[in-house]
Chain A
Amino acid sequence: MIRRLNWRRYGLVVVTLPVVAMVFLAAALAPFIAPYDPFELDVLMMLQGPGADHLLGTDELGRDILSRVIHASRVSIVVGLVAVAIGATGGTLIGVLAAHFGGAVDSVLMRFMEIVFCFPAILLAVILMANLGTSVLNAMLAIGIIFIPGFARLTRAVAQTVQRQSFLEAAICLGMGPVRLITREILPNVIGPVLVEAAVAFSYAVLLESALSFLGLGAQPPEPSWGNMINTGRGFIDQAPWISLAPGAALFVTVFSFNLLGDGLRDVLDPKLHD
């Protein structure tokens, strides 16, 4: 039996998931779908406008922009995934522990998180990168660390409401130990909001990575990344605006669709919204 799609619940995900899937596919299949080698120089063809040969034009060294935008998505996706994984795992662990044990554990953990929170994200990333050295790996680590306090606060708040529910006290009264309490009673109820936050954080990670690359701290040229491409295009913005516009548009679409996917996931993961 074919049931009608519940648009209120699944609509956003149905619309954004293909876009997100496309970005992932482009990253995964970059060498196969990119029309040119992203590193291939062709000085005779430099600063070409969009046309039949080069769909999105060429840059100051005659490299194909479309190919570079496609290849650059790999850096963004990998940085996004790893940074969110670091932030979500670390933050969830800290938040759940703070909520469950309360008291001094809670105070120490959360005060530390607030200290990390005090620094503007981009500044903290720059400081961390300056100490760790500029590389994509360190960018992931820096962005991941920046995400930890956000996830910690979120999970702590959610876990605290779970903590007050009587099903948790019922579980305690059945003799359940702290590890089992956290894994069976608390974590499953925290995972929904964390996933939603993860989708939003992913888009923010992509944005941050681009900002770091733009500042020359992330992916190093000639390795293409949306950030360093936008930065390169800055010098040619009057003659060849497409050099910056193309990676900018890719960045925009990716960030936007991941944000919407986050909203959509919230609706899908709510067990109380009936089909």
Chain B
Amino acid sequence: MRIAAGTPEAMLLVAKNLSRTFRGGGMLRRGGDVRALNDVSFNLAENQTLGIVGESGSGKSTLLRVILRLTPYDSGNLAFDGAEVASLTGTALKDLRRRVQPVFQDPYATFNPRFSIGSSIGLGFELLGEHRRQDVREEVRRLLDDVGLDPDLERALPHELSGGQRQRAAIARALAVRPDLLLLDEPTSALDVSVQAQVLNLFKDLRRRYGFSLILVTHDLPVVGFMCEHLLVMKSGEVVERGATATVIGNPVSEYTRTLIDSAPEVSGTKTQPVARP
């Protein structure tokens, strides 16, 4: 089942029967293997937003790391812009690195504590081949402004920023290389509620201006309802449900999705559905 209409060639990302098993146990203990991904297939068209939800251990973070090529997959296919991710080398791999950027969950570990925010954001330009210090600095300041931060924060060390500020700076770092696809791993779950809303709105706003596709991994269904057109529900490494976000949340087919919807916290007496149906 395809998520969006269109031929596979027009697709930015095509995953077919992706599987990844972590070997269990060690030298002394014979443990069971963990199938983190089991026959996962999905497509993502350009400029699309896809939410992946599931509880801890459902394989959603592994899927993200597979797409970033931080961890390999055992079988199946994963094509980014028509090229198999696993077989990329040299400049083709560099190209993938530039075009796919992550924003991670933990805003505390997301920056090297020894370097200023500006220096870390500037890395992207350096790797793009832009070395003139003054140009890089101007670009960094512009990016900080774009994500709603004071450009003077370029000189600040990571620990001097709040969690929300750091997450904005992490977004700036990802955007520095003008990616086509942004992967968000629980980007707001470490932030408090008021800051969460600001960061989510920032993503929407930046998407309009920069125009990137987006995959959002979360256990928070309302966040997906707010951010994503399409939804993938995962459980124990398998996709249990997929479709347009509003349809899935409004009319879940699988038992598991229903449980997820029912367990979402009530906000001012309403369940999560109203968020998904504007």
Contacts and interface: CB of A to CB of B under 8 A. Distances in A.
Contacts of A175: 93-94, 97-98, 127
Nearest to B173: A170
A174 interface: yes
Interface in A179-193: 184-185, 188-189
B102 A271 contact: no
B104 A174 contact: no
A172 B100 CA distance: 11
A173 B114 contact: no
Interface string B251-274: 000000000000000000000000
Contact of A174 (B105, B106, B110, B123): B123
Nearest to A271: B113
A96 B246 CA distance: 49
A272 B70 CA distance: 29
Given A167-B112, A169-B70, A271 B159 contact: yes
Contacts of A176: 123, 127
Nearest to B110: A166
Interface string A238-275: 00000000000000000000000000000000011000
**Interface on chain A toward B: helix, strand, loop, or mixed SS?**
helix
Nearest to B106: A166
Contacts, number: 62
B22 interface: no
B196 to A, nearest CB: 19
Contact of A173 (B101, B115, B120, B157): B101
Contact of A189 (B94, B100, B112, B123): B112
Nearest to A272: B159
Contacts of A185: 112
A176 B127 CA distance: 7
B157 A165 contact: no
Contacts of B104: 166, 169-170
Contacts of B70: 169, 172-173
Contacts of B114: 188-189, 271
| Residue from A171, A173, A185 whose CB has the most chain B CB atoms within 10 Å | A173
B109 interface: yes
A168 B159 CA distance: 17
A174 B109 CA distance: 16
B111 interface: yes
Nearest to A191: B114
Interface string B81-123: 0000000000001100110111011100111111100001001
Given A169-B102, A169-B104, A174 B124 contact: yes
A189 B111 CA distance: 12
Contact of B115 (A165, A172, A188, A272): A188
Interface in B144-159: 157, 159
Given A173-B68, A174-B123, A175-B127, A166 B109 contact: yes
A167 B97 contact: no
Nearest to A167: B112
A165 B120 CA distance: 14
Given A174-B97, A175-B127, A272 B113 contact: yes
Nearest to B170: A170
| Residue from A174, A188, A272 whose CB has the most chain B CB atoms within 10 Å | A174
A173 B104 CA distance: 12
B70 to A, nearest CB: 6
B53 interface: no
Interface string B168-186: 0010011001000000000
Nearest to B157: A271
Given A188-B114, A189-B112, A271-B114, A170 B102 contact: yes
26 contacts: A165-B109, A166-B102, A166-B104, A166-B109, A166-B110, A167-B109, A167-B110, A167-B111, A169-B68, A169-B102, A169-B104, A170-B104, A170-B174, A171-B123, A173-B100, A173-B102, A174-B97, A174-B101, A175-B127, A176-B127, A184-B112, A188-B114, A188-B115, A189-B114, A271-B157, A271-B159
When A and B form their complex, which 4 residue pairs have the shortest distance between CB atoms, in order from nearest? A175-B97, A166-B104, A165-B109, A188-B114
Given A174-B123, A189-B114, 10 more contacts: A166-B104, A167-B111, A167-B120, A169-B102, A170-B110, A170-B170, A173-B101, A173-B102, A184-B115, A188-B114
